[in-house]
Amino acid sequence: MCRRKKDAEGDSERKRGGFLGFIAFLVTIFAAVLYLVALILDFINVDIPTVINTMRSIASMITMCIVGMLGWRFVRNRSTWCKVIYVVLVLAVVACVVTPIVLDIARSK
């Protein structure tokens, strides 16, 4: 059977992953609510595309924060080149998520 590894302190694997798992659960709920509200606003033809796109982008950013934290937990004990690649990719994702928000706001004014 699959069992968790225990060390001298007890079930430390659960203690380490518990808080991040809880935050991931809350972020999933929050992102789902944002996506649903954006979908409902789009469905009932609310003519505020900037708000809808911004809500979707915020949900993506929040989700990417959790994914980023989990990715860092994987990369932090790896070699330097893995960390450099990770940081470059995270910066690319942030730029790709933030740029459309800024462009939407600039176009709406």
Whole-model pTM? 0.58
In this predicted structure, what is the pLDDT of residue 85?
92
For 56-93, write each residue's pLDDT tens digit: 777 777 888 888 888 888 888 888 998 999 999 989 98
* Element holding 87 (H helix, E strand): helix 80-108
Between residues 9 and 17, which one has the greater pLDDT? 17
How confident is the model over 50-54, as a mean pLDDT? 72
**5 pLDDT above the threshold of 60:** no
The number of C-alpha atoms within 13 Å of 68 and in the hemisphere containing its C-beta is 17
First to last CA, the chain: 60
How confident is the model over 33-48, as a mean pLDDT? 79
Nearest partner of 58 among 86, 100, 25, judged by Cα: 100
Query: 10: left (phi > 0), else alpha (psi -120 to 50), else beta?
Result: left
